[in-house]
Structure formats: structure tokens, C-alpha cells
Amino acid sequence: MTNIGAPVYLEEKLEEISRSGRLGYRSKALPTWCPGCGYFSIAEGMTAALNRLKIEPCNATIVSGIGCASRFPFFMNAYGVHSLHGRALPMATGVKLATDDQTVIVVGGDGDAFAIGGGHIPHTARRNIDITYILFDNGIYGLTKGQTSPTTVMGFKSATSPFGNQDRPLNPLMMLLSYGAGWVGQAYAGNPGHLSDMIYQAISHRGFSYLHVLSPCVTFDKTSMTYKNLGMMVRNLPDNHDASDVMAAMNEAQRTDQPALGLYYSENRPTLGDGFDEITRRALATGS
């Protein structure tokens, strides 16, 4: 992937990383998000997590859809696919099935994931495809100037809802848990250290992992999902939370007034790739 327009100091830094043999996951392209956007924290968290995992850049593929999050692959030094609106998960599934040795990460916003792309999430989860989905939730359509999204809070006023949003927001964590996702967690862009650790855990999980990241839109949301409000609302999951208990995870996910950060649920089960390997073995054994 070719990137143009990086400042000289950044080019020199990247060359230094290359000469030293250290892993470098930041590309020469500078992020173009609004100043203060929580997506900067996600980019840095991803970089730190991938370096911590010691995955070579050539062994990672990052797939995006459409929206503010769609620019993410351009800012990472790895294989990248900027796919169609709402179709990042099918694209990532194809990448993983074609190149099983690749670490495949999907990034997307709340609109891309739960509006036009909502029909792909349950099937990706139930098939347990070995990919990681990092969801950038800013509760709004930021790229198209602030319309309400599937996770916008009720009463929120925008250009398309001047009298306040009348639609009840979806509960993504409840959805993923009910779909059978094998790893479900939540992080907050305002807590970058914890965010990076959660990205690390999500990618480390073998099977489908879903990390929901609460990330304020500083340009179009001045009233609801702001750093001030989220900073007062978020909490850590209780120390005694049992991440193997799906009902305990669902009970925590229902507390949307006080969103909890951490690992909600985790289980180990065969992946889609494991199933195909077993079919291949049986077919070869029978000669069919």
C-alpha cells in the first residue's frame, strides 16, 4: 500500500524502525480524523497490541467498510482492504479462508456494522471464523455529517432529527452474546492503556472475537457520548465477574446506563477452519 505526503520526520522515524529490525505497524500516512477523535487511541492501541504479539506486518490483514473507521487500513503498515459499505465481514471471511495463516482484523463503525452490515454479524459469530472485529462506536454517522445511527441515544438532536431521535438504540453487546460470539469485550477510547490490552486479548483469542470500543465524536456530538459524560459513566466489570458465564455477561450488558469495560465472555470451541480441515481429512480418508 502506497502512502503519500508523510512529513520528513515521520519518514526518518519509520526508516529507523526498519533498520533496527523492530516491528513497525504505523504507515507513512498520517490519520485524517478530527482532532480529539477517539479513533487515534484505537490506532495507537492496535499498533502496541500487534507489536506486543510480535506478528510480522506481512502476516496481518486489516479490513474496513465505509465510514470514519474505513480509513484505518491506510494508517497501518500491513495488508489492508477498504471494502464496501457493510461488507467488511464477508470480505474478511474470504481473506481468512484463502490465507489461513494471516491474522485478520476487521474494523468498522456502528453504522457500517449494525445498519447496512447488520445481517453479516450473526453468521460470522455462529460460524466462529478466526477473525477479530473491532467496532468503533461513536453513536453517530460521523463521515456523513452527524446523522443518527443504530446506537444513537434517544432524544439526540441532529440535522436529520431536529426534534430528537425517536428510535431506541441497539445493544451491540447483547446482540453478539446472543449470536454466540466466542469472545466479547468492551473498551473505551478515553482509557488507552486498557484499550490496547483489550485489543491484544481479542486478537490472541482463537476464533471470532468482538471488541466494542466506545469512542466520542468530538465534532458532531456535544451532548451525549462526550469524553466528560462517558468518563463519568464507564466502570470496570466486577472483579468476580465470570467470563465463562454467558448469562452473567448478558446481565452486565443490559446495564447500558453504566457501561462496563473488560472481558464479558470467552469460550474456546472449534473454528470454521477447523471444521473445513476435518471435512478434508474425512474426505481424503474415504477417497470421496
Rounded Cα distance, 219 and 146, in Å: 8
pLDDT tens-digit map of 86-112: 899 999 999 999 999 999 999 999 989
Q: Indicate the CATH number for domain 8-286.
A: 3.40.50.970
Residues in a beta bridge with 205: none
CA distance 5 to 284: 52
Burial of 141 (0-12, 13-18, 19+ CB in 10 A): buried
Residue 90 pLDDT: 96
- Please report which residue ranges of the chain form alpha helices under DSSP H: 8-20, 39-53, 88-98, 110-111, 121-127, 172-179, 192-204, 227-233, 246-253, 272-286
Domain ranges of the chain: 8-286
| pLDDT, mean of residues 233-259 | 97
Q: Does 260 score more than 60 pLDDT?
A: yes
| Average of per-residue pLDDT across 131-158 | 89
Predicted TM-score (pTM) of the model is: 0.89
Closest CA to 83 of 98, 97, 101, 95: 95
At residue 206, φ and ψ (nearest 5 deg) are: -90, 110
Lowest mean pLDDT across 55-59, 126-130, 264-268 = 55-59
Question: For residue 64, what are the β-bridge partners?
Answer: 82, 107
Which of 49-58, 242-251, 258-267 shows the lowest mean pLDDT across its residues? 49-58
Task: Look at residue 49 and tell me whether its pLDDT is greater than 60.
Answer: yes
Query: Percent of the chain at pLDDT above 90?
Result: 73
